[in-house]
Structure 1
Amino acid sequence: MLKTMNQRITIEEVARLAGVSTATVSRVLSRPEVVSDQTREQVMTAITQLDYQPDAAARALASGRTHTVGCVIPTLDHAIFARSTQAMQTTLAQAGYQLLVASHEYDPVTEFELVRALQQRGVDSLVLVGTDHAPRLWKALSDWRKPTLLTWSCDPRLPSLGFDNEGAARLAATHLLELGHRCIGVISGLTANNDRARSRIDGVRKSLTQAGLSLLPTLVTEQAFNLEGGRLGLRKLMANRKKPTAIFCGNDLLAVGALLEAQRMGLHVPSDLSICGIDNLEIAEAINPGLTTVSLPTQDLGRLAAKSMLSAISGEVIAAQSLLPFELVIRGSTASPRK
């Protein structure tokens, strides 16, 4: 029979049932990676059978670790961040770590305050998104003696795991150019405090320049990263005297919003207007026509970020800069322009 709260199960009882020492039980709880799979399974089985609840404060004091990782992302409202964060949490949980998540809605002041709060809480490492951070945050990170990982973009100042956002946009723009489009517009997310959005615009611009063309300022619009932003962006671009025959969107939500608005306006996608996104969300395949997009392996990003942090916490040196691959997924939303 399980004990009551006043008769708390002790680590000695767990060790007895598992047939190991109390030190081994402690290692399983604090550094599971250094214990054999068989021993770890014995201890975890005993913990489950006894419903042992370790004292988090005592455990942190003994090991010097809280077994928590802090993750600060721009927003909880985007599926693309949800996918990577879920993968990160799953991987960390398997190693006995808890992920603490906070969002700053692209506000540098809020981001700084959240990072400081997580540091003060004693997290064992931090995961941040992008390279746009306030100078005082960069200083707070450099003064901190624990690991920090940047994701989605790379910066030489910290270990980074991300994507070549400019290269991904260039891939999409090159696809549109190869189809024969010469007037290409861009619906971007808001670029303030968002290096990924700026890099994607730069990628389109460089592809056009290489082809002897230019990205007209009137054919670039910044909108909120959502369906309504795509609708508003499409209406703005199509109000130009020189209308684009193809549009690159800074993410799939913008692209789907633009596609829906084009259909509402009586435009046929792709014969009247080609639309391309970036992310490869589930909706990209579900919509009609299917959305051509650049697929980013965001679940891999979350999983590898977690593994990098676990390695860094254990004292291992992790790669300074790592870029994940991406690929163009061609569906029905892009085609050659009308003759």
Structure 2
Amino acid sequence: MNRKARATLQDVAQLAGVSTATVSRALSRPDLVQAETLARVSDAIARLNYVPGGAARALASGKTLTIGAVVPTLDHAIFARAIQAMQTELAGNGYQLLVAAHDYAPAQEAAAVRAMLARGVDALMVVGADHLEETWALLTTASVPVVLSWSFDARLPAIGFDNEKAGWLIADHLLDLGHRRFGMISGFTHANDRARSRVAGVRAALAARGLDLPSSCVVEAPFTLAGGRAGLAELMARATPPTAVVCGNDLLAAGALFEAQASGIAVPGALSVVGIDNLEIAAHLAPPLTTVHLPTTELGRTVARHLLARLRGEAQPQRVELPIELVIRRSATAPATSPALAREPS
């Protein structure tokens, strides 16, 4: 069987009624092409099923029109939501997003960063500030724009949140309700600066009221529903269980709520449970989850716009901290054993 000949750049130009140079410009710099012309070229490409040769286009333009993103995992909605926002913003500007997940393994992250740079991505985003020295060397010497996300480090531009403040906000709310016996279910803190910062924020809020959160009251678990269930079971099995449990993210908190329900522990009557993230599911849990909102969709868009601006040669801020806020729902109330206490003088 004879295979149909592959459409060429010249075929697209002829069908669209433009020059081959205009087609090339529409593919590499669509922002420089008039909307009506761009529409004709796009229509011709679709009708001919034309697939531009990436290597040839990259050689001609010095760009691959791809931006890389290296994230811990795609299993969690918090990262998927940011990646989706990045993809939407980049696609509207003629770029594609290349994504790699390293499953919280530092060596895998280093390999992913090296592979992205070797493939010739035009810019790169990584999550957090906890990296191997090998990874830092790759990031700080890269010949393309690189940005950190979720966390901050003076070595590179960064767009993120104050994760310590997130822990502080949620713990301070529980303190205002009158809680004095705390437990925390955290993600693994090794190689995860976000998890460590949230634990530090909880401890700082308690310390401001003359309390502490000893290591024995912090359970580390995978960021999963099962991790939340196991963490709550461990905390509640103690001789003096907590009246409030802070979870390092909403997925852990959802697991904790499921475990409380299975164990006959009334939330919030006998136990308050709170999270951090404000995932969509948080408002639909029973009871709806009190949490801290992290604007991850805005983060994804902001990262994309930051990198696109730098690719255009425009200066960008070294640090962009996105605002976070406490979202009060019904999973936390005053402890059953004591009335809510007013805020103590600082």
What's the TM-score, normalizing by structure 2? 0.92
Q: Give the distance between the partners of 2:133 and 2:218, measured in 1 at CA.
A: 29
Q: Give the distance between the partners of 2:136 and 2:121, measured in 1 at CA.
A: 17
Of 216, 223, 226 in structure 1, the residue corresponding to residue 224 of structure 2 is: 226
Match of 2:143 in 1: 145
Farther off after superposition, 73-82 or 87-96: 87-96
Q: Give the distance between the partners of 2:312 and 2:190, measured in 1 at CA.
A: 36
Match of 2:343 in 1: none
3-state secondary structure, aligned to 1:204: helix
Q: Give the distance between the partners of 1:182 and 1:5, measured in 2 at CA.
A: 74
Q: Please, what is the CA RMSD of the aligned residues?
A: 1.7
Match of 1:48 in 2: 46
What are the Cα deviations for residues 173-207 of structure 1, in whole angstroms up to 9, with x where unaligned? Answer: 11111111111211100001000000000110111
Q: CA deviation at 1:96?
A: 2.1
Q: CA deviation at 1:35?
A: 3.0
Q: Give the distance between the partners of 1:40 and 1:173, measured in 2 at CA.
A: 53
Q: CA deviation at 1:16?
A: 4.0
Q: Give the distance between the partners of 1:232 and 1:63, measured in 2 at CA.
A: 53
Counterpart of 2:23 in structure 1: which amino acid? V
Counterpart of 1:237 in structure 2: which amino acid? L
Q: CA deviation at 1:111?
A: 0.9
3-state secondary structure, aligned to 1:279: coil
Runs of 4+ in 1 over 6 A off after TM superposition: none
Q: CA deviation at 1:274?
A: 0.4
Say whether residues 1:171 and 2:172 are aligned partners.
no
Q: CA deviation at 1:41?
A: 2.7
Q: Give the distance between the partners of 1:59 and 1:328, measured in 2 at CA.
A: 48
- Where does structure 2 lack aligned partners over 5 or more consecutive residues? 339-346
Q: Is the CA contact (8 Å cut-off) linking 1:250 and 1:278 kept in structure 2?
A: yes
Say whether residues 1:135 and 2:133 are aligned partners.
yes
Say whether residues 1:107 and 2:105 are aligned partners.
yes
Of 120, 123, 129 in structure 2, the residue corresponding to residue 122 of structure 1 is: 120
Q: Give the distance between the partners of 1:306 and 1:319, measured in 2 at CA.
A: 14
Match of 1:71 in 2: 69
- Where does structure 1 lack aligned partners over 5 or more consecutive residues? none
What's the TM-score, normalizing by structure 1? 0.94
Say whether residues 1:207 and 2:205 are aligned partners.
yes
Q: CA deviation at 1:5?
A: 4.0
Match of 1:269 in 2: 267
Of 172, 180, 192 in structure 1, the residue corresponding to residue 178 of structure 2 is: 180
Change over 3 Å in CA distance of 1:61–1:5 after alignment to 2:
farther
Q: CA deviation at 1:30?
A: 0.8
Q: Give the distance between the partners of 2:75 and 2:239, measured in 1 at CA.
A: 35
Q: CA deviation at 1:316?
A: 2.1
Q: Give the distance between the partners of 1:114 and 1:39, measured in 2 at CA.
A: 38
Q: Give the distance between the partners of 2:37 and 2:324, measured in 1 at CA.
A: 40
Q: Give the distance between the partners of 1:22 and 1:179, measured in 2 at CA.
A: 68
Farther off after superposition, 309-318 or 121-130: 309-318
3-state secondary structure, aligned to 1:248: strand
Q: Give the distance between the partners of 1:40 and 1:210, measured in 2 at CA.
A: 60
Say whether residues 1:308 and 2:306 are aligned partners.
yes
Q: Give the distance between the partners of 1:125 and 1:274, measured in 2 at CA.
A: 43
Q: Is the CA contact (8 Å cut-off) linking 1:124 and 1:146 kept in structure 2?
A: yes
3-state secondary structure, aligned to 1:278: coil
Q: Give the distance between the partners of 2:154 and 2:7, measured in 1 at CA.
A: 48
Paired residues, number: 336
Match of 1:86 in 2: 84
Q: CA deviation at 1:216?
A: 2.3
Match of 1:260 in 2: 258
Q: CA deviation at 1:218?
A: 1.7
3-state secondary structure, aligned to 1:149: strand
Q: Is the CA contact (8 Å cut-off) linking 1:218 and 1:240 kept in structure 2?
A: no
Counterpart of 1:321 in structure 2: which amino acid? R
